[in-house]
Amino acid sequence: MKPIVALVGRPNVGKSTLFNRMTKSRNALVDDFPGVTRDRHYADALWDEIPFTVVDTGGFLVSDDDVFAAEIREHVEMAVEEADVVVLVLDGRAGVSPFDQDLVHILRRSDKPVFYLINKIENSRQRDDLAEFFTLGMDKFFPVSAEHGVGVPTFMDALIGVLVDEVLLAPPMDEKEAAENQEICIAVAGRPNVGKSSLINRLFGTKRVVVSEKAGTTRDAIDLTMDKDGKTFRLIDTAGIRRKGKVREKIEKYSILKALKSLDRCDVALILVDASEGVTDQDITIAGYAHDRGCGAVFVLNKWDLLDKEEKNQKMFMEELRMKSKFLSFAPAITVSALTGQRTHKIFSMVESVYDEYNYRINTGLLNRIIENAIYRSEPSLHKGKRLKFFYATQVSVKPPTIVCFVNYPEAVHFSYKRYLINQIREMAELEKTPINLYFREKT
Ligand code: GDP
Ligand code: GDP
């Protein structure tokens, strides 16, 4: 699980500029998938070979002036709760505002590591002139210029130090957690009102057992488990799901970090879509999150009871979904009604079939034959006049199946060729419902 670093702060202090700088090395990889149109307010980053996820919490803000301050405050509280490390960005040019004081206050109360950045510091004169920030009472801050990169490496080194110490070197899994790992973890993701809580009640209904209130999570973050056909299914429930009315509505808006976290922890995400409203951009955004987290996925097309029973319309809906979510073409889809219970019982077996592939280990001999054959049938084009030489492949992990190929020139493998190889593996190893990761490493 990658640690989450949340950037918080007032608008215009430079959060998104910093976000871009921190995640820049990965930007080229971001839009591999044509047709995915979404704002990207979080991204995976790598520094000193340590992977982590950066979230620009400001990016999720709805900027309606009246609710602004309250909203930012709530965002910060959410971030503190859900992130592993929080970075408060302050504006070195605008100086300290009372609002910053509020934010610092909130952060002080948390037990998460917090970095204080003073941004827009471009020269030494400015650096000498930061006395007023000491009134905030922090013992250490990092002067940076997100725009020009000054001071950012120093900050990143310190950040990595904390990530390694506090997150990645955290105590190993205890027995209970190891047991949990035998379970099939499900997350339910979807925009408000698509029927998430109705479906959860349907699936886990009266049989559900509230199993854990883990330390460090809020009292609302509850997992539910259920045994079915000899398997244990664990539902990662997110706060707010069963809340009603105004409070709930409000919380939904801030639930993005929680959704990301649950997708990070799950084996299979149920991506809920309200079929009566068609496939919306927001549905695709959420599907994109699931894709990015690398989990297995099932499209659950809910409220099918409201749909015109004409076969033609149903077919059209399915085509629209597939067209807009090409990047998740491996995810099976099922039409249900959480209201009437129609077909909802089939979801478990579908999740199980996805999970079996998600957790599959391909025989090494078979894997190498598949790739050798694929290359034999369609050789990659020459790279700077050189021929790609394939040595061998090995599956390094499951959940999802992750394969490393050793070749002479990793950079010679074009994206489309990689996709071709993945498709060959899918077909020959019968892994059609899981994401597959394929990496190339150099062997000389
Ligand atoms: P956000 O609202 O916190 O995400 O802030 P933005 O990243 O959108 O930045 C707000 C404004 O500050 C933009 O005009 C940026 O160009 C500017 N800005 C961001 N970082 C720096 C910096 O390091 N130095 C200077 N001079 N301006 C910056
Ligand atoms: P959530 O916000 O995603 O948790 O959605 P809810 O479960 O609260 O459902 C939102 C509304 O849609 C409620 O009024 C539900 O009764 C209704 N609803 C949920 N599932 C279905 C369904 O399959 N068919 C119909 N007709 N309504 C549904």
| b/e burial code for range 335-372 (CB count within 10 A of at least 16 → b) | bbbbbeeeebeebbebbebbbebbebebeeeebbebbe
- For 127-181, write each residue's pLDDT tens digit: 777 888 888 888 789 999 999 999 999 999 999 988 887 766 666 555 555 555 6
In 110-191, alpha helices (H): 124-127, 131-134, 152-162, 175-180
Q: Do domains 183-359 and 364-442 have the same CATH topology?
A: no
Predicted local confidence at residue 170, as pLDDT: 63
* Nearest-10 Cα torsion for 408, 413, 417, 421: 40
Report which ligand 1 atom has the smallest distance to the Cα of 59: 4
303 lines ligand 2 (CB under 6 A): yes
Report the half-sphere exposure of 206 (CA within 13 A, side-chain side): 0
Residue of minimum CA distance from atom 6 in ligand 2: 195
pLDDT value, residue 82: 76
Ligand 1 geometric centre to CA of 147 (Å): 7
Is 305 among the annotated ligand-binding positions? yes
102 lines ligand 1 (CB under 6 A): no
Query: Which atom of ligand 2 is closest in space to residue 304's alpha carbon?
Result: 23
Query: Which CATH superfamily is 4-168 part of?
Result: P-loop containing nucleotide triphosphate hydrolases (3.40.50.300)
Contact 143, 121 (CB under 8 A): yes
State the residue for tokens 């503190």.
80
Which atom of ligand 2 is closest in space to residue 198's alpha carbon? 7
Ligand at minimal distance from the CA of 335 is 2
CATH of domain 183-359: 3.40.50.300
Could you tell me the two tokens for 141? Answer: 């801050």
- For the chain, give every domain's residue range: 4-168, 183-359, 364-442
Please tell me the predicted confidence (pLDDT) of residue 31.
39
In sequence order, what are the residues at sequence separation of 6 or more whose Cβ sits closer than 8 angstroms to the Cβ of residue 286? 189, 190, 191, 259, 271
Question: Going by CA atoms, what residue is nearest to atom 10 of ligand 1?
Answer: 12
The tens digit of pLDDT for each residue in 324-380 reads: 999 999 999 999 999 999 999 999 999 999 999 999 999 999 999 999 999 999 988
Residue 64: pLDDT band by 50, 70, 90 thresholds?
very low
CATH topology of domain 364-442: GMP Synthetase; Chain A, domain 3 (3.30.300)
